[in-house]
A and B are shown apart, each in its own frame.
Chain A
Amino acid sequence: MNLLYKSPRLLLLLTLVLGGTTIHAQGIMGGRVTGNIQLDGQISSADSIIGAQDVPEWLLMNARADILYTNGGFSAGLRFEAYQNPMLGFDNRYKGEGIANYFVSYQGEKLSVTAGNFYEQFGSGMILRAYEDRYLGIDNSLRGLNVTLRPFNGVTIKALAGKQRYFWNYADGMVRGIDGEVNLNSIVKCMAESRFRATLGAGFVSKYEDDQTIAFPDNPSYRLNLPLNVGAGAVRMDLAYGNWGLQAEYAHKGQDPSVMNNFIYRDGEALMVNATYSQKGFSANVQAKRVDNMSFKSVRSESGEMLYINYIPAITKQHTYAFLSMYPYATQTTGEMGLQGDVMYKIKKETLLGGKYGTDIHINGSIITSIDTNNIGGAGTLGYESDWFKTGDLYYADASLEVAKKLSKAVKLTCTYGYQVFNPVVEGHNGPLHHNHIVVGDLTWKVNKKNVLRFEAEWMGSDSQYDPNVDDKRCGDWIMGLVEYNFTSAWFVSVSDQYAYRDGVGNYYNVSVGYNHGATRLQLGYGKQREGLLCIGGVCRQVPASNGLTFSLTTSF
C-alpha cells in the first residue's frame, strides 16, 4: 500500500485499469455516459548499439480518458490526459496532467453548435484541419465556437472561431473560418435522379496574430512589416458519373512570413486532383498535387508539427509492413509536387491465374519532387520564383506490387515487392539518395475457428551504408521474421526480429502478448525499437530508440 502512496503514477495506473474495466455506460438524467480510456506505458534502458538513452524515470506513461454525456441532441464531454512523464518521442512540454479538452454541443437537424474544444475540417483540409492524433502527439483542437447550419437539404455552412491547443496552453493566434458546401443533386430538381453527381464547396480561413519585432537580418535597424491577418481560401468540387469520379481542390494563401518559410512574403497555393474509376473486381485512381509555400500556422514563430491550421494530404501509399514503412514520406508543406497511381484488380476464380479462389493484385506507384525555385532573396522579400510545371529534386519514389492469393480455405498468401527511393533532405539532412528493394511474404493459416497462425518474412536490400557521422540506423540490408499466434479469439502472441545483416547496425527483437475481452484490450511487449520517423498521413514525429518493456491498455464503456 505504501507503494501506492509513494508512486502516484502507479496509483493512477491502477485506478484507470480497475475503473476502466468495471465502468459501464450509465444512464444519468435520461442521458447516457460513455467513454474510453487508453493507457500506454514504457520502461526503457540504455542500449549503446541502437542508441537508446537511459531514462531517469522508472516508468514513462501517457494516459487519457474521454468521457461523453449525451442526451438527445445535447452532448458534453471532457478529456483527462496525464503524461507522467511523456513517453519517448513525445514532446516533453506535455508533461503534467489535467483536463485537456472539454466541450458542450447541440446537434440539431438544421443547426449544430459546439462551444469549447472541437475538431473540424474544411474540404481535404488544405486551409483548415483541426485534428488530433494521439500516436503522433498532435492535438490541434480549437477552443472556441463552431456553428454548422443546414438551412435545407444539400447545403451546409460552417463557421468557427477559436485558438489552437498548444500542449497545456492555447496559442496566441486567433483562427476564424467559414465554409460552404452545396450538393447540386439535392438542390437542383432535374439533377436529383441524374447519374452525374456534383458537390461544390468553398471556404476561407483567417488567422490573427499580434505584431512582433522580427529584425531584418541584413540590418537590425529595420524590421519586417508583418501581416497580422493572414487569409487562406479554397474552392473544391467532387464530381461523379457512373463508375468515374473526379475530386479537385485549389487553395490559395496570402502573405504569411513565418519561420517555416524563412519569413518571405510570397503567396502560397496548393492544388490537388484525384481521378477514380471503379467497377467490380477493378479500381484505379490517379492523384496529383502541387504545393507551394502552404505552411499555415497560427503562430508565425512555431516550427515543428504543432499549430498547423491546415493539412496537406499525403498521396504516397501508407504501408503497413515494417520494411516498406521504414522510410515514410513526410509532407513538405513549403513545396512539393507529386503524382500517385493505384490499381487493384481481382483475377477471377476458376481461371489460369485466379485458381479456385481468385487472386488480388494491387499495384501502386508514387513520385514526389520539390518544386522548381529560383531564389530571389531571403527574409523580407518574395523569396523565390517558381515555374509551375517544372519539377525540382526527387524527394521520394515508391513502387509496389502486391499479390494476394488464397491457397486453400485455411491458407492465404500475400507477396509484395517494393522499390523505394528516398532523399534524406525531407528529414532535414543532406546525403545521397537511398535506393531500397523490399520483398515481403505473409502467410496466414486459419488452423480452426479460434486459432490463427501468421508468418511474415521480409527482406530489404539497400545501397545505403551505416555512417556513424550521420547515424541513420535504417541504413543497410535487413531481414525480418515474424510469427503471430491468435488463439481462443482472445489471446495473441507475437515474436519478431529485424536484423541488419550487412552495412547496417542493430538487431531489433520484440515479443508481445495481448488479450482482448469485449471492448478491453491489454498488450505487453518487450524488445527494441529502432529510432526513426513515425508518419501518419504525411505528418511525422521522431521516434527515438528504446529498449525495454511497453504496455498498452484500451477500454471503452
Chain B
Amino acid sequence: MKRFSILSLLAAALLVFTACDKIAEDEYVVFAGASGTWYDSEATIPAVQRAFVEKYTGVRCVNCPNADVVLHDLSEKYGDQLVVAAVHVPNNFGKPLHGEQDLRTEKGSTWFNTFFSPSQNLPSALLNRTKVDGNSLDIIDPQARFDDKIDAVLSATPQVGMMLSCTRDGGVYNAEVHIQFNQSVSDALTLTLLVVEDKVYTTQEGRTADGIVEFENYEQNHVLRDVVTDAWGIDVVADGNQGTKRMIVLPVSLAEGWNADNCHLIAFVSNKATREIVNTAQCNL
C-alpha cells in the first residue's frame, strides 16, 4: 500500500510537471493585435498632412512636466494637425508612485526599448519617427519648442491622406480608417491604431524653485493606453498607386477604468521598413 501511494504520488507529480506547451506548426508566428480586411474606399479623404509626436515620459521624471507645457502650447497652435501620444517608459521613471495606477503599457515599452537605450534621458520625443540623415532617429528634447521641425513635416505634400472615424456597436467601438494614395508609393506600409486618454490624474514628480516635489492629482494627457494593432502595425493591403483609396474597420475595446469620454483613437501609417510615419489622424470615441 505504501509503495502504491508513493507511485501514485510520483505519477500525479509527473502529470503536473508534464505540462508543457506545444505550439502547432502553423501557429509559430501569430498576429500581434487587432486585424481586419481591407476594402476599396469610396470616401472623400482630405489631403491633409499631420504630424505625430510621441512623447516618452514617466511619473518619476522631474523634467517631464516641462514638456507637457510645451506640447500643450504646440497643440493649441497646430490644432488637429498635431497628434500627440504620451508613452510612459518601462524603466524606473515610469514606475507608479504610491501604488497608483500604472500608465506603462507592454507595446509602449516595446517602442521605448526599440528606439532608445535604457539610459535615455527623459523627456524625449519623436516626430513622425523621422531620422537624421536617414540613419539614426531624430530624438527631440520636448522641453523646448520645436515648431520648425513640425512646420517642416506639415509643409510636405502628403503621400497618403488619412481619415479616421469611430462608431459604437453595443459595447464595442469600431475604428474606421480610410487612406488615399496621393502619390504612388512603392514601399510597404503599415497601419497602427492606438488608444490614448486625457485627464488621467496621478502623482507626478517635478521640479520647482524649491527643488524636486511631487504634484498631487497631476493631469496626464495623451496617455497611451493601448496599441490596438501589433506594436508595429498591420500591413496596408493596397497597390500603392496614386489615387488608390482603401479602408479597414478595426474593433477597439476599452479596459475597465478608462473613461471613454476622455479617450481618443490615433491611427498612423508608417513605412514598414524604416518605421517613419507617413501620416496620422485622430478621432474622439
Q: Which residues of A line the B interface, CB within 8 A?
A: 149, 151-152, 155, 157, 159, 176-178, 180, 204-206, 213, 215-216, 219-231, 233, 254-255, 257, 265, 380-382
Contacts and interface: CB of A to CB of B under 8 A. Distances in A.
B29 to A, nearest CB: 4
Interface string B182-214: 000000001000000000000000000000000
Interface in B130-164: none
Contacts of B23: 225-227, 255, 265
A221 B230 contact: yes
Given A157-B10, A159-B13, A178-B14, A224 B29 contact: yes
A177 B29 contact: no
Contacts of A149: 6
A382 B107 CA distance: 27
Nearest to A216: B29
A81 to B, nearest CB: 25
A222 B29 contact: yes
A230 B21 contact: yes
B255 interface: no
A375 to B, nearest CB: 16
Given A220-B231, A221-B31, A225-B30, 8 more contacts: A157-B9, A220-B232, A223-B30, A223-B31, A225-B28, A231-B17, A231-B20, A255-B21
B3 interface: yes
A204 B14 CA distance: 7
Contact of A380 (B13, B21, B29, B230): B29
B2 A222 contact: no
B22 A222 contact: no
A550 B17 CA distance: 47
Contacts of B17: 176-178, 204-206, 231
A215 B32 CA distance: 9
Contact of B25 (A152, A159, A213, A382): A382
Interface of B is mostly: mixed
Contacts of A231: 17-20
Given A206-B20, A382-B25, A222 B10 contact: no
B16 to A, nearest CB: 8
A151 B6 contact: yes
Among B23, B29, B232: residue with most chain A CB under 10 A: B29
Contacts of B19: 206, 229, 231
Nearest to A225: B30
B233 interface: yes
Interface size class of chain B, counting residues whose CB lies under 8 Å from the partner chain? 20 to 34
Given A216-B29, A225-B29, A254 B20 contact: yes
A254 B21 contact: yes
B275 to A, nearest CB: 8
Contacts of B110: 213
A229 B13 contact: no
B6 A215 contact: no
A177 B106 CA distance: 30
Contacts of B13: 159, 178
B2 A152 contact: yes
B235 interface: yes
A221 B272 CA distance: 9
7 contacts: A220-B230, A220-B232, A221-B190, A222-B30, A224-B30, A380-B28, A382-B25
Scoring B6, B27, B106, B107 by chain A CB atoms within 10 A of each residue's CB, the highest score goes to B6
Contacts of B106: 213
B88 to A, nearest CB: 17
Residue of B17, B18, B234 ringed by the most chain A CB atoms within 10 A = B17
A213 B28 contact: no
A229 B272 contact: no
**Which 6 residue pairs of A and B lie closest in terms of their CB atoms, listed nearest first?**
A231-B20, A220-B232, A227-B21, A223-B32, A225-B30, A380-B29
Given A204-B14, A223-B30, A155 B6 contact: yes
A221 B107 contact: no
Contacts of B10: 157, 178, 180
A29 B80 CA distance: 76
Given A204-B14, A222-B32, A213 B231 contact: yes
B27 to A, nearest CB: 5
Interface in B19-51: 19-23, 25, 27-32
A180 to B, nearest CB: 6
B24 to A, nearest CB: 9
B20 A227 contact: yes
Interface string B217-237: 000000000000111111100
Contacts of A176: 17
A254 B18 CA distance: 10
A149 B9 CA distance: 11
B235 to A, nearest CB: 6
Contacts of A216: 29
Contacts of B21: 227-230, 254-255
